[in-house]
Structure 1
Amino acid sequence: MDIGTQNVENKIIVFKKGTRPSQRFEIYKKYGLAVEKNFRSLNIAICRAKRPEVFSLLSEEPWIESVEEDVSVYIQVIPESVKIYSLRGQEIPWGIEKLRAPECWKSFNGDEIRVGVIDTGVDATHPDLKENLKELMGTYKKNLISDDNGHGSHVSGTIAAVNNDIGVVGVAPKAKIISIKAFDKNGSGQLSGILEAIDWCIDSKVDVINMSFGISNDSNALKRVIKEAYDNGIVLVAAAGNNGKKDGVLYPAKYEEVMAVTACDRRGVFAPFSSQGKEVDFIAPGVDVLSCYNNGGYVLMSGTSMACPHVSGACALILSKKRIKPSELKEALARTARSLGYSKEKQGAGFIDVRKALSIIE
């Protein structure tokens, strides 16, 4: 082992708001920290130290709000649910029909709306996706932007698969996908990569961010970047989680600024794997959902990961009629949602009816 690199750790340092660059630099110098990534506008930095005990001393500094572990983050799919699906011609997936999205397409189809998909990447040559791919970048590994898992392509297809007489159609078939690969081939990523991805979405002025992932522990850094995105007028949608527990909603779905989505099947039955909690906003199709996959393919998948992009796509449809604030969009969806007969902890305001929601947007 190289003696110069042993005991190296990365941590997320959250500085108090208003901290000046010179004050941050003073901290780096005093503790011998190497800055891996600096989010200047957020007062957050990813730092490395050769001696782990250094980080425990930082809490005593007046300019530090918290020092966090760079924890692992996971996509919210049920692994054993993935089933290859053969298509002839084009098929509109059941969930998109249930949302009544096809009834909107003659007038509104997500045209020019930019949806940031923070996921495992995307199959950039997929015949149902390539036309709607606007930008691709990666935070997991800078030179790796393609989907080596399939999850990101599936999520992107639910949002914006092209209406082209082949394969499937997305909820908003003319929305533009901004793909940010933040997860590896196993569907695992790091919190630092998520922070970078959301920060990049803010700078790129996306309209919606789809987050089909979650972590169980709160994070000051994640909370801060989520609030920054929301304050910039970005609509935020996240998977509630697949732990099946009461009061089990994961972060970032648990944050007030984010729409938390649980899953149901085609009969409207609540998916038992869905996390529950008072933070739940909507329920959407999440069992045996048909969408795009790697290598130009199509599969069925289940999870709140699959429910989440149905809501993101619905938001893109509505925004293509009128650019409204995230709070106004959420209110329109909630006012027109249909109850499936479950508690708020399971369904929030209910199942989205995007046609009705569009009808009340003036």
Structure 2
Amino acid sequence: MKDSSSYANKIIIFKKDTTPLQRFEIYKKYGLSVGKNFKRLKVALCYAKEAEIFGLLNEEPWIEAIEEDINFELQVIPDSIKAYSLRGQEIPWGVKKLKAPECWDDFCGDMVKVGVIDTGVDTEHPDLRENIKEVYGAFKKNMIEDDNGHGSHVSGIIAAINNDIGVVGVAPCAKIFSVKAFDKNGNGQLSGILEAFEWCINSKVDVINMSFGIPNESLALKRAIKEAYKENIVLVAAAGNSGQKDSVLFPAKYEEVIAVTACDKRGKFAKFSSQGREVDFIAPGVDILSCYYNGSYSLMSGTSMACPHVSGAVALILSKKHLKPSEVKEVLSNSARDLGYPREKQGAGFIDVKRALSILD
């Protein structure tokens, strides 16, 4: 297809028991062009010359649902981004509060693969490059570099290297598998997220960090979540930044996903955090120092920042013992510290990775 912009597009979710031939017959019958084919998920981004064609597809017995290629939002507070100059190395307050440095002599995330679905990563950042194992472009082919800063910041919280410069991540030996699914303005679409999931699953990552969300459910996203969970991948997502009750975003809202809210240095619940019964944990998310693009550093706030603190903690746990996602969540729950807030704000409490590792002894 030379110019897809003149065509209507939708996400087609086929029934799980359909065969490749059956799906091909649908494409052929309705003259559909496949923009992206997610074979593992049995989902496809398709283009049609007329939007009405997608209405006819609802009558096909092999199709479960049809969705828009909806937009996703990163969960960072834009006004919170501030450049930060460093001399030597600094351990960020959030990493200290999780008690991660007290674990590094024995466990630092070795051999644990963390998928980061975000704006990409600064592959030449001196505090990241040694821990970047693989990169992939789901926004545009061959576009992998972070031109926004958010993805590098998230990756740094998880696994910035313990050297003599910059910052240190929660799991400084973990390996980053970065997927660029968001553009320089922080805009992403469902089709890119689905492609990122397929790549992460096929790359056999151990954890997927999702510092993004949408207010409404997507059946295609739900299928991707369930497929990853089935492969024993621990899923961690930002709860959202609406500051409202009962406002946890998807994918954090799914039961297979660990939903994370944010607090500040004093342990005070961040007023921007979404709340709800789906919240699992609270973690540092205000004025968080980490890597940024172009080899720099910055402060940022949001549940976008709280989420990777938990992903890093999971990496430390998995470097000690291989556990199923449900077992990881149980260990974190049994070791979390109560900050005195209702479960809708803090879930089981504040992550204490040292205590979590001691439970595994």
* TM range, smaller chain: over 0.9
Work out the CA distance in 2 between the residues paired with 1:113 and 1:6: 40
Which residue number in structure 2 is paired with residue 353 of structure 1?
352
Which residue number in structure 2 is paired with residue 22 of structure 1?
21
Unaligned regions of 5+ residues in structure 2, if any? none
Structure 1 residue 256, shift from structure 2 partner: 0.5
Work out the CA distance in 2 between the residues paired with 1:75 and 1:321: 31
Which residue number in structure 2 is paired with residue 158 of structure 1?
157
Letter in 2 for 1:356: R
8 A Cα contact 2:4 2:47, kept in partner: no
Mean Cα displacement is larger for which, 33-42 or 66-75? Answer: 33-42
Letter in 2 for 1:271: A
Which residue number in structure 2 is paired with residue 145 of structure 1?
144
Structure 1 residue 41, shift from structure 2 partner: 2.2
TM-score (norm 2): 0.98
SS at match of 2:351: coil
Which residue number in structure 2 is paired with residue 181 of structure 1?
180
Work out the CA distance in 2 between the residues paired with 1:4 and 1:267: 53
Which residue number in structure 2 is paired with residue 207 of structure 1?
206
Unaligned regions of 5+ residues in structure 1, if any? none
What pairs up with 1:277-356 in 2 under 5 angstroms? 277-356=276-355
The alpha-carbon distance between structure 1 residues 341 and 31, as it changes in their structure 2 partners (threshold 3 A), is same
SS at match of 1:152: helix
8 A Cα contact 1:77 1:301, kept in partner: yes
Deviations 1:321-352 (A, max 9, x none): 01110100000000010011111111000000
Which residue number in structure 1 is paired with residue 60 of structure 2?
61
Work out the CA distance in 1 between the residues paired with 2:5 and 2:254: 37
SS at match of 1:197: helix
Which residue number in structure 2 is paired with residue 91 of structure 1?
90
TM-score (norm 1): 0.98
Work out the CA distance in 2 between the residues paired with 1:5 and 1:238: 32
Deviations 1:242-282 (A, max 9, x none): 11111101111010100000000000111111111111000
Work out the CA distance in 1 between the residues paired with 2:178 and 2:3: 36
8 A Cα contact 1:212 1:308, kept in partner: yes
SS at match of 1:103: coil
Which residue number in structure 1 is paired with residue 126 of structure 2?
127
Work out the CA distance in 2 between the residues paired with 1:348 and 1:342: 9
Give the root-mean-square deviation of aligned CA atoms. 1.3
Work out the CA distance in 1 between the residues paired with 2:79 and 2:299: 11
8 A Cα contact 1:7 1:51, kept in partner: no
8 A Cα contact 1:7 1:52, kept in partner: no
Aligned length: 361
Work out the CA distance in 1 between the residues paired with 2:203 and 2:89: 33
SS at match of 2:320: coil
SS at match of 1:47: strand
